[in-house]
Amino acid sequence: MKKRQTGWKTGGAAALSFFLLGGALAGCGNSNGNAESEGGASSGAMSLTWMRYEHPSQAIVDDSKAVREIEKRQNVKLNLQSVPQSNYDDKKKTLIATNTIPDVILVKQDDIQNYSDTGVFLDLTPYLDSMPNFKKVLEDHPEVKNNYIDGKLYGFPLVTKWDLQAGQIPMIRMDVLEELNLKVPETYEELYETFKKMKEANPASFPFASRAANGLTGTENLINPIAFGFGSGYTTSNGTKVYYDPATKRYEFGPYSDSFKEAMAWLNKLYGEKLLDQDYTTATSQTWQEKLNSGKSFYFQDNNGFGNTFNTIMQQQDPEAKFDMIPVLAGPNGTKRNLVYSLDHLSESYVISSKVKDPEKVIAFIDWMYGEEGTNITSLGVENEDYVIENGEFKLTEETMNKYKDKPVPYYAMQSELGTGYLGLAMHYDDRPNIPFQSEDSMAWSDTNLKNVEEGINFRFTNDPPFNKEERERLKQLRTELDSFITSNIDKFIIKDGAIESEWASFVEQCKAKGADELLKIYNDALARVQ
C-alpha cells in the first residue's frame, strides 16, 4: 500500500513541477505582450489582422520597424499572424473553407481561382480606379493580367521593383576545367565530352548533379532546363506537363517534339555513362549541395545564386575552387536559350476578406503600400536611419551594417527586425538591401542574366493563364491521370538502356490517348483569352 501511495505522491509532484516549469518558460519568452484586440490602436486607427507564411530564415516580428512606421504614418495597426511556411497551405485552406479568414491574407493564385466565386474574397475591381499607385504598378507589370478571373481582380500580387536576376543557368567548376586543360563547352554535345574528361580524371565523381526544387520533382527540375535548351520544354512552374514556348508563343507538349526526344537521349547517354547523378530522382536540395560542395559533381544547371554559396564553402578548404557561369549552350539544332526565374511573384497575392469592415480604408492603405513611401518602408527601412541614397546609389548606414554583421545570415536578421522584404511585409518589393551582402560574382551574374533577357537568350518562367470553371474541372481529371502516367514512365527513358528506341513511340501514343491534346487545347484557349 505504502509503495503505491508514494507512487502517487511522486507522480503528483512531478506533474505539478511540470506545470510550474511550463508556465515559467511560457511566461519568460513572452515579452511582446499580446493584448492585440480592440483597444490596442489609438483613436481613429484601423486595426487589420494580416496573415502570411513565415520562412524559417526570416522570423516575422510582431512589432518590427515596418509595423511601427505603418502605424505612425498611416494610422493602421497591423495584427500579424504568421504561420510556418511548411504547413501554410493546410491552415490557409482550412480558414478559407470555413470562411474564417483574417482581414488580409496571403494566398496563391490557385486559391483565388478556386474560391473567387464563393464570395469569400473581396472583389477589388471596383476600387482600382481609386488606386493611383497600384495602377502604375499594373502598367509596369502587364503580366498581372493573368491574375484576372473573368475580368475581375481579387488579389493584390507581390510585384518586384528591383531584384537580382537568377535562373537555371549552366554553372561549371572553372578551376577543374583549367586543371584538365579543357575549353569552356559551347554546345550540349561539347558539354557531354567535357563530362567524360572530368569523369576520367575523377572516376568516383558524377559530374552533373540536379535536385528537386520549387515544388517540382527531381526529374522535372532536371528535364526542364535541358529540354528548353534543346528547343522544347517539359512543365510549367506548377508541374503541369505542358510548357510555354516563346518561339511559337503558345503552349506545347514536350514529348511531341523531336527536340524533346533528343534531350532525353542526351540525358540517357549521361546516365548510362555515369556522368549524371544516379539518384537524381530522389535528390534533395541537401544531397545536391553536398555533391557540388565536396567535388563529387562539377556542374549544375539550376539557380545560379547557389554558385556563390558553394564557392564560399569550398574555398574554406580549397581557395582555387570556383563555380562560374558559362554562356548559353547551343542545342543540336542551334537553339540557344535558357530558363530564368520571374522577378515578380505574381502567383502570390494578398486578398481581402469580404467581411472586412472598412473596405475603402483598407484599399487606400494598400495603395500606399505600392507607392513610393510604402515600398521604401517595407523594403528598405527608414531613410537616414537604416539606409541612405548617395548619388542615386543605395547604401546601408554604418550602424546597420555593424548591427547585423555577426549574425549567421546578416541579411535575413536585418530584414526580420525591420519587417522588410519579400518574406516580410513588402507588396512592392525592392531588394537593394541585398546588394551589400552579395559578392561581386553574384552581381555580375545577375547583370549577365538581365542582359541576356533583353537579348532574347534568357526567358522567364510564366504563370498559368486564368481558367474558367469547366476548364478547371477538366484540368483536375486530365492532370491527375496524365501527370501520373507521365511521371511514372518518363524516367525509364533516362535510366534504362534502349528504352528510347523501343518504347518512345508508344509512350507518346499513350500520352495522346490520355488527353495531352485536350490539355494543350485548354491551356491555349485560356492563353488566347488574355492576349
Partner 1 sequence: MTTKKTWFDGVNILLMLLLIVVTLYPLYYMGIVSISSGGAVSRGEVIWFPKEINLQAYKYVLDDPAVLRSYGNTILYTALGTFISLVLTTLCAYPLSRGHFYGKSLFSLFVIFTMFFDGGLIPRFMVVHGLGMVDTIWALVIPSAISVFNMILMRTFFEQIPEALHESATVDGAGEFRTLLQIVIPLSMPVMATMFLFYAVGQWNSFFPALIYLNEKALYPLQIILRNIVIQGEMASQTTQMGADIASMSETIKYAVVFVAILPVLCIYPFVQKYFVQGAMLGSVKG
Partner 2 sequence: MASLSKQTAAVSRWSGVRRKIVKSKALYAMFLFPFAYFLIFHYAPMIGNLMAFQEYSIVKGFFHSPWAGTKYFEQFLTDSYFWQVVRNTILLNLYSLIFYFPAPILFALLLNELRAKLFKRFVQSITYIPHFLSTVVVAGMLVNFLSSDGLINQFRGMFGGEPITFLSLPEWFRTIFISSDIWQGLGWGSIIYLAALTGIDPTLYEAATIDGASRWKKLRHITIPGIMTVIMVMLLMNLGHMLSVGFEKILLLYSGPTYETADVIQTYVYRRGLIDSDFSFASAVGIFQSVLSFALVISANQLSRKFNGARLF
| Residue number with CB closer to partner 2 (435 or 499) | 499
Q: Is 278 in the site for partner 2 (CB under 8 A)?
A: yes
Q: Do residues 438 and 84 make contact, with C-beta atoms less than 8 angstroms apart?
A: no
Helices 499-513 + 258-272 axis angle, to 10: 140
How many angstroms separate the CA atoms of 352 and 471, rounded?
A: 26
Q: Considering only residues 113, 303, 378, 420, which one is a binding residue for partner 1 as defined by CB under 8 A?
A: 303
Cell numbers that stand for 210 in this block:
540536379
How far is the C-alpha of 382 from the C-alpha of 396, rounded, in Å? 11
- Which of partner 2, partner 1, none has residue 64 at its interface (CB below 5 to 8 Å by kind)? none
Provide φ and ψ at 267, rounded to 5°: -65, -40
Q: Which of residues 394-453 bind partner 1 (CB under 8 A)?
A: 408-409, 411-412, 422-423, 431, 434, 442, 446
Provide the CB-side half-sphere exposure for 26 (13 A, CA).
7
Contact of 522 with 249, CB cutoff 8 Å: no
Distance, in Å, from the CA atom of 309 to the CA atom of 293, rounded to the nearest integer, reads: 9
Verify binding: residue 115, partner 2, rule CB under 8 A. yes
Please, which residue, 100 or 402, has the CB nearer to partner 1?
100
Q: What is the dihedral of CA 471, 472, 473, 479, to 10 degrees?
A: 100
Cell digits of residue 87: 504547413
Phi and psi (nearest 5°) for 470? -65, -40
What's the min distance (Å) between Cβ of 67 and partner 2?
A: 31
d(CA 15, CA 114): 48
In single-letter form, the type of residue at position 506 comes to S
Instruction: Choose the one of partner 1, partner 2, none that binds residue 335, judging by a C-beta under 5 to 8 angstroms depending on kind.
Output: none
Burial 376-411 (b: 16+ CB within 10 A, else e): bbbbbbeeeebbeeeeeeebbbeebeebbeeeeebb
Q: Which of residues 401-460 bind partner 2 (CB under 8 A)?
A: none
From partner 1, partner 2, none, interface partner of 125 (C-beta below 5 to 8 A by class): none
Contact string (CB under 8 A) for partner 1, positions 310-349, x = contact: --xxx-xx-----------------------x-x-x----
Candidates 9, 13, 21, 282; binder of partner 1 (CB under 8 A) is 21
The DSSP secondary structure of 123-164, one letter per residue, reads P-GGGGGG-HHHHHHHHH-GGGGGG-BTTB--EEEEEEEE--
Considering all CA atoms of the chain, what is the largest pairwise distance in Å, rounded to the nearest integer?
89
456 scored as a contact of partner 1 (CB under 8 A): no
> Among 71, 344, 430, 491, which residue interacts with partner 2 (rule: CB under 8 A)?
491
Q: Does 468 bind partner 2 (CB under 8 A)?
A: no
Q: Does the protein bind partner 2 through residue 198 (CB under 8 A)?
A: no
Does position 99 interact with partner 2 (CB under 8 A)? The reply is yes
At CA 391, angle to CA 430 and CA 373, rounded to 5?
A: 40
Query: What amino acid occupies position 206?
Result: F
Does 163 contact partner 1 by CB under 8 A? yes
For position 27 contacting partner 1 by CB under 8 A, the verdict is yes
Decide: is 309 part of the binding site for partner 1 (CB under 8 A). yes
In the numeric block, which cell numbers belong to residue 106? 496571403
Q: Tell me whether residue 118 or residue 333 sits nearer to partner 2 (CB atom).
A: 118
Q: Is 166 in the site for partner 1 (CB under 8 A)?
A: yes
Q: Is 54 a binder of partner 1 (CB under 8 A)? A: yes
Task: Figure out which of the listed residues 114, 308, 397, 448 binds partner 1, where binding follows CB under 8 A.
Answer: 308
Among 9, 13, 23, 179, binds partner 1 (CB under 8 A): 23
Q: Is 305 in the site for partner 1 (CB under 8 A)?
A: yes
Q: Does 125 bind partner 2 (CB under 8 A)?
A: no
Shortest gap between Cβ of 281 and partner 2 (angstroms)? 4
Q: What is the helix (H) or strand (E) element at residue 332, kind and residue range?
A: none
| Strands 338-340 and 458-460, bridge-based pairing | parallel
For residue 226, give the nearest of 234, 238, 218 by alpha carbon: 234
Contact in structure between 432 and 380 (CB atoms under 8 Å): yes
- 56 near partner 1 (CB under 8 A): yes
Residue count, binding to partner 1 (CB under 8 A): 84
Note the helical H segments in 405-515. Answer: 410-418, 440-454, 469-490, 492-495, 499-513
State which H helix or E strand residue 351 sits in: strand 345-352
- Cβ 479 to partner 2 shortest distance, Å: 5
The DSSP letter of residue 184 is P
Q: Could you tell me which stretch among 59-67, 109-117, 173-181, 360-368 binds partner 2 (CB under 8 A)?
A: 109-117
Q: Name the nearest CA neighbour of 212 among 288, 113, 314.
A: 288
- Which of partner 1, partner 2, none binds 481 (CB below 5-8 Å, type-dependent)? partner 2
Instruction: Decide if residue 238 touches partner 1 (CB under 8 A).
Output: no
528 binds, among partner 2, partner 1, none (CB under 5 to 8 A by kind): none
Residues 89-148 within binding reach of partner 1 (CB under 8 A):
90-91, 94, 97-98, 100, 102
476 binds, among partner 2, partner 1, none (CB under 5 to 8 A by kind): partner 2
> From CA 126, how far away is CA 129, in angstroms rounded?
7
φ/ψ of 107, rounded to 5, equals -135, 170
Out of 258, 320, 399, 481, point to the residue binding partner 2 (CB under 8 A).
481
Minimum CB distance to partner 1, residue 334 (Å): 28
For residue 204, the partner it binds in partner 2, partner 1, none, with Cβ less than 5 to 8 A by kind, is partner 2
**Using CB under 8 A as the criterion, which residues of the chain lie in contact with partner 2 when the complex forms?**
93, 96-99, 110-111, 114-115, 118-120, 204, 217-219, 239, 278-279, 281-282, 284, 286-287, 296, 472, 475-477, 479-481, 483-484, 487-492, 495
